Structure 1
Amino acid sequence: MPDPAYRACSPAELEARLRLHRLPGLGPQRFHALLQAFGSASAALSAPASAWGSLGLPGVSAEARRSHEVREGAAAALAWLERRDQHLLMWDDPTYPALLAEVDSAPPLLFVAGNPALLEKPQLAIIGSRRASRPALDTAGAFSRHLARGGFVITSGLALGVDGAAHQAALDVGGQTIGVLGTGLQKFYPQRHRALAAAMIEQGSAVVSEFPLDAGPVAGNFPRRNRIISGLSLGVLVVEASLASGSLITARLAAEQGREVYAIPGSIHHPGSKGCHQLIRDGALLVENVEQIVETLQGWQRLPSVEGGEAAGSQHVLEDLLLAAPQTSEALANSSGWPLPRVLAALTELEVAGRVCNEAGRWFARPA
């Protein structure tokens, strides 16, 4: 049976919307323009090509609406929706996420694998580099775990690097997470995260896409999906990003949408820190721990305190220094003012506890 989210829509209208959704050259704004002009997708499909042309729509869209490929694609989507944990949310349904509905060019259709109710829950996005450093992955995981424990849904793009670390960390503590794809749900990308996506769905989280189910990876679609990541979320945390990173696109969109933007600072010598530093110069909030995020979100209780050094912001002076930038033990002695033997002893204890690690002679903080 069709999902309750679209039972109010007649079978003919649902099929018509799925056909419109597949038309070339018909993005969200043109989709909405058609429904506004003709009152329904069914009426739009039946309208003469001249009426489409009067709306400024490309001829290729009007010509493709009756094609076999478009009809078959819509039929395949209807069959997909009959299966367990596979849903469709439409922009004019009451079940459509309210925050996303406020966004310019809100997706007219959202395919959801997993739990669609999560899209209405308070979310925070955690994003960053696909080629993230080990400290950045640890930091993303630490923030994700604490925010997920505090009741936030963790939203990201299921990309390699920071995105994957954030999704996995939320699952690890029994939290909930949403992955927003830049492909159709049947053409999952990247393949290396297929198992992660399956685990998300199985454990009550969700994977979503605005694209037709069989849409493959197209470079321009990944920046386009970023407005959904930010649009669903109360705020966006950028963990590590170069100046050319797509994460900066998401952060810019978040600011335009009136969302909070948070950035974690890093070493001035690390290229992956430059994007975060630029965001901070542009007005993003510099954050070092989860509490600094929660305090900016009015109406949310403070997260439970975490014992045993589990907080994303370290309570140890050496960890605080290493969170700012990786350092050698000698540099730590200079910056902390401690004798080197004391520094080495403390680092040994922290390493045994899994809170720091040493790579190529430099020490890195590993937030829990």
Structure 2
Amino acid sequence: MAPAEALARLRLSRTEGIGPANFRRLIQRHGSAGAALAALPGHAARSGRAFTAPPPAEAEREMAAVARMGGDFVFLDSPGYPPLLALLEDPPPVLAVLGDATVLKRRQVGVVGARAASAAGRRLAEELAAGLCTAGIAVTSGLARGIDTAAHQGALAAQGRTVAVVAGGLDVPYPAENAALQARIAAEGGVVVSEAPLGTAPMARHFPRRNRIVAGLVLGLVVVEAAPRSGSLITARLALEAGRELFAVPGNPMDPRARGGNDLIRQGAHLTEGAEDVLANLPAQPLELPLFSMRPEPRNAAESPLEAPPPAESTGQLLELIGTVPVAVDDLVRRCQLSAPSVQAILLDLELSGLVETLPGNRVVRSVT
């Protein structure tokens, strides 16, 4: 990727109000991040919202700071981007990585669980991680206290590869006592991954986003000790939604930390007592998935995705066709007098304004306010 486009992508990804899904749609609409940045004022005027991208100097400073740490950036639809993660509906536009980024393209299994884990749970997580690494699987977790920490430590003890997905910036280890473990992972063949800018302190709202990355990276997810309504169960739900295999370790029903895993087993998760149970049920992954692309082909020569924005009255016409019941975008195209690229352009502005939401299956629905 050209340095100018990489810088533009970092700026676009750091623009307030532009989430992962709209990042992708803006580049699909305009052909590059640089062109999308130039078009933001027009989108702001039509959507009624302000989108202020950080200045180039700020993005350059972030790039330089990550480089000084020995890290780098991996961008969506670049060859180094983890292919399974790209299959999510909202893959992170850019990942800051510290360590061996090639580990992100290896077969991975997530091991997550309670922060206040029992000694037995921690030991089992260590043994699971070691067994998976011995079989050539990279172990992925969130660098939290308890089960996460044990999983990373078990992988390192087996001289395997481990992926630590953190909720804050790469320069803000969390929890603080895991700073040495984070450095060790990066130094011993693993990789530390963050979606957040440098200097970001982890907050509660950041952890679900971190959890979706864990779920998106892995072929399967193992839950070791999890209370009801815990973050580990959020990760499990996200893994199921992403089509990943789910595993859970059974526990004593008298221990609240076992309730989450036991419930998952009741719902169909694989009962797991060791690495062999995971390996026996882990789906195969192609050696190379097709490279994800954000640049769709025009339907024909007369329908360029870069045509001029449609008139304002067309926006009202299209919005009238969208209700609280999801409707396919193809149906909208058939029912209005606009080209497919024009419909996509209007939908982008409507989504940026918060009036509609895009759902899986190329469907849209009115936002609930």
- Normalising by structure 1, we get a TM-score of 0.74
Instruction: Give the match for residue 95 of structure 1.
Output: 80
Instruction: Give the match for residue 293 of structure 2.
Output: none
Shift of 1:13: 1.5
Instruction: Give CA deviations for 1:213-237 in whole Å, capped at 9, x if unaligned.
Output: 2222121110111111111111000
Residue in structure 1 matching 2:222, options 226, 237, 242: 237
Shift of 1:298: 4.6
Shift of 1:108: 0.8
Instruction: Give the match for residue 59 of structure 1.
Output: 49
CA contact (8 A) 1:264 1:276 kept: yes
Residue in structure 2 matching 1:188, options 168, 173, 180: 173
Shift of 1:82: 3.5
Rounded to whole Å, the distance in 2 between the matches of 1:299 and 1:232 is 14
Instruction: Give the match for residue 22 of structure 2.
Output: 30
Instruction: Give the match for residue 200 of structure 2.
Output: 215
| TM alignment of 1:247-258, pairs within 5 A | 247-258=232-243
Instruction: Give CA deviations for 1:265-297 in whole Å, capped at 9, x if unaligned.
Output: 111110000011111122111112221111112
| 1:276 and 2:257 matched | no
Matched letter for residue 274 of structure 1: R
Matched letter for residue 15 of structure 1: L
Gaps of at least 5 residues in structure 2 are 286-369
Q: How many residues end up aligned between the 2 structures? A: 285
Query: Which has the larger displacement, 22-31 or 237-246?
Result: 22-31
Residue in structure 1 matching 2:272, options 276, 287, 299: 287
| TM alignment of 1:1-368, pairs within 5 A | 9-47=1-39, 49-54=41-46, 56=47, 59-60=49-50, 62=51, 64-65=52-53, 70-83=55-68, 85-299=70-284
Query: Which has the larger displacement, 77-86 or 96-105?
Result: 77-86
Matched letter for residue 191 of structure 1: A
CA contact (8 A) 2:113 2:226 kept: yes
Instruction: Give aligned-pair identity as a percent.
Output: 42
Matched letter for residue 49 of structure 2: G
Instruction: Give CA deviations for 1:325-358 in whole Å, capped at 9, x if unaligned.
Output: xxxxxxxxxxxxxxxxxxxxxxxxxxxxxxxxxx
Rounded to whole Å, the distance in 2 between the matches of 1:96 and 1:227 is 16
Q: Which has the higher contact order (CA 8 A, sep 6+)?
A: 2
Rounded to whole Å, the distance in 2 between the matches of 1:92 and 1:292 is 34
Shift of 1:156: 0.1
Taking a change above 3 Å as real, the CA distance of residues 75 and 175 of structure 1, as seen in their structure-2 partners, is: same
CA contact (8 A) 2:129 2:275 kept: no
CA contact (8 A) 1:18 1:77 kept: no
Rounded to whole Å, the distance in 2 between the matches of 1:204 and 1:171 is 9
Query: Which has the larger displacement, 138-147 or 290-299?
Result: 290-299
Q: Which has the larger radius of gyration?
A: 1
- The root-mean-square deviation of aligned C-alpha atoms, in Å, is 1.7
Matched letter for residue 294 of structure 1: L
Shift of 1:52: 3.8
Taking a change above 3 Å as real, the CA distance of residues 177 and 83 of structure 1, as seen in their structure-2 partners, is: same
Instruction: Give CA deviations for 1:19-54 in whole Å, capped at 9, x if unaligned.
Output: 112211221011112111211111122225233454
Shift of 1:72: 4.0
Shift of 1:187: 2.1
Rounded to whole Å, the distance in 2 between the matches of 1:140 and 1:210 is 25
Taking a change above 3 Å as real, the CA distance of residues 53 and 221 of structure 1, as seen in their structure-2 partners, is: farther
Taking a change above 3 Å as real, the CA distance of residues 218 and 53 of structure 1, as seen in their structure-2 partners, is: farther
CA contact (8 A) 2:245 2:283 kept: no
Instruction: Give the match for residue 342 of structure 1.
Output: none
Rounded to whole Å, the distance in 1 between the matches of 2:228 and 2:166 is 22
- Normalising by structure 2, we get a TM-score of 0.74
Matched letter for residue 184 of structure 2: A
Matched letter for residue 200 of structure 2: A
Query: Which has the larger displacement, 103-112 or 31-40?
Result: 31-40
Query: Which has the larger displacement, 136-145 or 84-93?
Result: 84-93
